[in-house]
């Protein structure tokens, strides 16, 4: 609980209309999209300026009160669950697009802007902001930056970090710093911009961001390639890229995923083949057509049983929307859906998919796999029941083995979801004890009192991933 004297100080800063500590408010912000993590914050604050945030942080830093910055809470790593209580910062009053600069191809935004609204606003000017996490309809750009969100267009265009040029950040001590700017080239000191992207709210509070835009691609085409053999599909992913073609999107869906997605979205996805590749290319028309022809050829050589190009924009849109709905579709089947994002070099996709299936069989758990195959970023998704302790134990064992396999293949424990609370026991698998120590030193440098999103990223003990806290 926030002591009454401090509570009064905080209310003085933001006003009582933007300070909430009713049970309802606390409950509303006690969880995010991650199953089985919940903890009540002590209060919820909705700041409307960096000055308010500076004042709040100064007080919290002095009194050791946790601060959890939160966008729409769509993350899947329990990154915004206030596991140690404290204050959840919500940015619904800092949700403006401040400037679209058409000469410098940048957009400057407040953290609370919804990703899709940003994308639509710049597209209306013929510009393009590529990072498109599946949650983009509700996710905020602040959340995307803190998690370094990926998306379906990551293969060709990269992820959030590739588009953040500059940040305004409030540090735990109340200092406000500006990193980078509108120039893509800037080597004045350490690249704090990139350090903060993906820092999961553990170093400071991002209060403004300048993002890079690119010209919008002239055209886009979408293709479905169907495979009887899962391995053949995975090998085809590698073959396309080895042929020096980088599609905008190169998604993989296994048969169980296709089945539930089709059941949910009804867009004509095949449900009778073992694997589907959803492939998009964008760019100048001549190039897109040439690439699509070559990709079709490579798919056929790779034993695709069918290769079909969407005949209209509506059909193409329906397919990618269906793919984006995979999590929602899968979530209907059983009480708990755990979506992971073990990632491997793309040449290892086939080996990884096989390993996931073997591991699921070994532990007798249901895992569907889909994801951004072109990036080697798979989403093995377990359909389970969080109330069944015995089953959950097996799920944990299975995922731990999946993470270990990803590392063994030269990959990582998380491609785009972050470590959060959920994967902190596994961080050292990827970066080693020395790497964890180096990262902890960075944390200590910015946040010596440990108020920023405590309990995230770093394991305190060997606690396993699916734990109900507080």
- Single out the residue of 446, 451, 454, 466 in contact with a second copy (rule: CB under 8 A): 446
What residues from 136 to 155 belong to the interface with a second copy (CB under 8 A)?
147-148, 150, 154
**Interaction of residue 343 with a second copy, rule CB under 8 A:** yes
Question: How many residues interact with a second copy (rule CB under 8 A)?
Answer: 90
* Residue 24 vs 461, nearer CB to a second copy: 461
How far is the C-alpha of 467 from the C-alpha of 283, rounded, in Å? 46
* Residue 36 vs 54, nearer CB to a second copy: 54
- Single out the residue of 15, 64, 184, 335 in contact with a second copy (rule: CB under 8 A): 184
Helices within 105-183 (DSSP H only): 115-123, 141-147, 154-157
- Single out the residue of 43, 57, 136, 192 in contact with a second copy (rule: CB under 8 A): 192
* Residue 286 vs 361, nearer CB to a second copy: 286
**Of 337, 466, 349, which is closest to residue 406 (Cα–Cα)?**
349
Strands 219-227 and 249-254: unpaired
Distance of CA 259 to the CA centre of its chain: 24
* Residue 211 vs 413, nearer CB to a second copy: 413
For residue 219, what are its two tokens?
A: 């055209």
Q: Least separation, in Å, of the C-beta of 328 and a second copy?
A: 22
* Residue 158 vs 270, nearer CB to a second copy: 158
**Interaction of residue 444 with a second copy, rule CB under 8 A:** yes
Q: Least separation, in Å, of the C-beta of 84 and a second copy?
A: 19
How far is the C-alpha of 89 from the C-alpha of 55, rounded, in Å? 13
Q: Point out which residues pair with 350 in neighbouring strands.
A: none
* Residue 12 vs 102, nearer CB to a second copy: 102
What residues from 216 to 275 belong to the interface with a second copy (CB under 8 A)?
216, 238, 241-242, 244-246
Name 400's Cβ contacts closer than 8 Å, sequence gap at least 6: 426, 464
* Residue 125 vs 470, nearer CB to a second copy: 125
Task: Give 181: exposed, middle or buried? Use CB within 10 Å, 0-12, 13-18, 19+.
Answer: middle
**Interaction of residue 425 with a second copy, rule CB under 8 A:** no
What residues from 405 to 424 belong to the interface with a second copy (CB under 8 A)?
410-419, 423
Q: Give yes or no for a contact between 395 and 467, defined as CB atoms under 8 angstroms apart.
A: no
Task: Say what angle helices 349-363 and 389-408 make with each other, to 10 degrees.
Answer: 160
* Residue 235 vs 334, nearer CB to a second copy: 235
What residues from 348 to 407 belong to the interface with a second copy (CB under 8 A)?
372, 375-377
Task: Give 25: exposed, middle or buried? Use CB within 10 Å, 0-12, 13-18, 19+.
Answer: middle
* Residue 164 vs 398, nearer CB to a second copy: 164
- Single out the residue of 74, 199, 222, 384 in contact with a second copy (rule: CB under 8 A): 199
For residue 89, what are its two tokens?
A: 């910062």
Q: Least separation, in Å, of the C-beta of 393 and a second copy?
A: 24
Distance of CA 57 to the CA centre of its chain: 26
Letter string b/e over residues 331-354, b meaning 16 or more CB atoms within 10 A of that residue's CB: beeeebbbbbbbbbebbbbbebbe
Q: Least separation, in Å, of the C-beta of 94 and a second copy?
A: 20
- Single out the residue of 25, 100, 138, 287 in contact with a second copy (rule: CB under 8 A): 287
Name 432's Cβ contacts closer than 8 Å, sequence gap at least 6: none
**DSSP state, residue 436:** H
Q: Give yes or no for a contact between 370 and 406, defined as CB atoms under 8 angstroms apart.
A: no
What residues from 163 to 182 belong to the interface with a second copy (CB under 8 A)?
171, 175-179, 181-182
Q: Least separation, in Å, of the C-beta of 272 and a second copy?
A: 30
**Interaction of residue 124 with a second copy, rule CB under 8 A:** no
For residue 168, what are its two tokens?
A: 């305004």
What residues from 49 to 78 belong to the interface with a second copy (CB under 8 A)?
none
**Interaction of residue 162 with a second copy, rule CB under 8 A:** yes
For residue 85, what are its two tokens?
A: 């209580």
- Single out the residue of 4, 5, 16, 215 in contact with a second copy (rule: CB under 8 A): 215
**Interaction of residue 104 with a second copy, rule CB under 8 A:** yes
- Single out the residue of 27, 98, 124, 442 in contact with a second copy (rule: CB under 8 A): 442
Name 91's Cβ contacts closer than 8 Å, sequence gap at least 6: 46, 47, 69, 70, 71, 110, 111, 112, 140, 142
- Single out the residue of 59, 431, 459, 467 in contact with a second copy (rule: CB under 8 A): 431
* Residue 86 vs 247, nearer CB to a second copy: 247
How far is the C-alpha of 20 from the C-alpha of 70, rounded, in Å? 15
């Amino acid at each position: 609980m926030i002591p009454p004297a401090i509570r009064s100080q905080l209310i003085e800063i933001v006003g009582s209309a933007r300070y909430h500590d009713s049970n309802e408010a606390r409950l509303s912000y006690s969880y995010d999209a991650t199953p089985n993590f919940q903890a009540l914050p002590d209060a919820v604050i909705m700041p409307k300026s960096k000055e308010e945030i500076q004042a709040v942080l100064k007080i919290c830093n002095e009194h050791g009160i946790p601060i959890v910055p939160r966008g729409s809470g769509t993350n899947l790593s329990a990154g915004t669950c206030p596991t140690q209580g404290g204050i959840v910062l919500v940015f619904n009053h800092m949700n403006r697009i401040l400037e679209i600069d058409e000469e410098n191809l940048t957009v400057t935004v407040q953290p609370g802007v919804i990703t899709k609204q940003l994308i639509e606003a710049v597209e209306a000017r013929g510009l393009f902001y590529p990072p498109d996490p599946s949650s983009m309809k509700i996710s905020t750009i602040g959340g995307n930056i803190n998690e370094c969100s990926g998306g379906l267009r990551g293969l060709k265009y990269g992820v959030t970090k590739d588009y953040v040029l500059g940040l305004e950040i409030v540090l735990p001590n109340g200092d406000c710093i500006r990193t980078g700017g509108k120039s893509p080239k800037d080597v004045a000191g350490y690249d704090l911009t990139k350090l903060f992207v993906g820092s999961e709210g553990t170093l400071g509070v991002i209060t403004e961001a300048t993002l890079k835009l690119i010209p919008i691609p002239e055209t886009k085409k979408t293709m479905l390639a169907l495979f009887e053999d899962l391995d053949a599909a995975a090998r085809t992913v590698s073959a396309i890229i080895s042929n020096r073609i980088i599609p905008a999107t190169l998604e993989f869906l296994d048969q169980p995923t296709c089945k539930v997605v089709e059941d949910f979205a009804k867009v004509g996805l095949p449900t009778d083949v073992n694997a589907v590749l959803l492939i998009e290319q964008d760019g100048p028309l001549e190039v897109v057509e040439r690439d699509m022809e070559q990709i079709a050829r490579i798919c056929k050589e790779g034993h695709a049983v069918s290769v079909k190009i969407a005949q209209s924009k509506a059909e193409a849109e329906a397919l990618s929307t269906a793919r984006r709905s995979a999590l929602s579709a899968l979530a209907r089947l059983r009480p708990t859906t755990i979506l992971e994002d073990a990632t491997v070099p793309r040449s290892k996709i086939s080996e990884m998919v096989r390993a996931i299936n073997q591991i699921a069989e070994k532990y007798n758990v249901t895992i569907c796999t889909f994801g951004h195959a072109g990036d080697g970023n798979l989403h093995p998704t377990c359909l389970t029941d969080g109330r069944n302790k015995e089953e959950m134990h097996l799920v944990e064992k299975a995922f731990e083995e999946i993470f270990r396999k990803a590392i063994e293949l030269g990959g990582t424990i998380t491609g785009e979801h972050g470590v959060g609370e959920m994967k902190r026991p596994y961080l050292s698998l990827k970066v080693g004890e020395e790497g964890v120590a180096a990262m902890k030193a960075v944390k200590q440098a910015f946040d010596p009192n440990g108020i920023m999103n405590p309990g995230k990223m770093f394991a305190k003990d060997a606690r396993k991933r699916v734990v109900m806290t507080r």
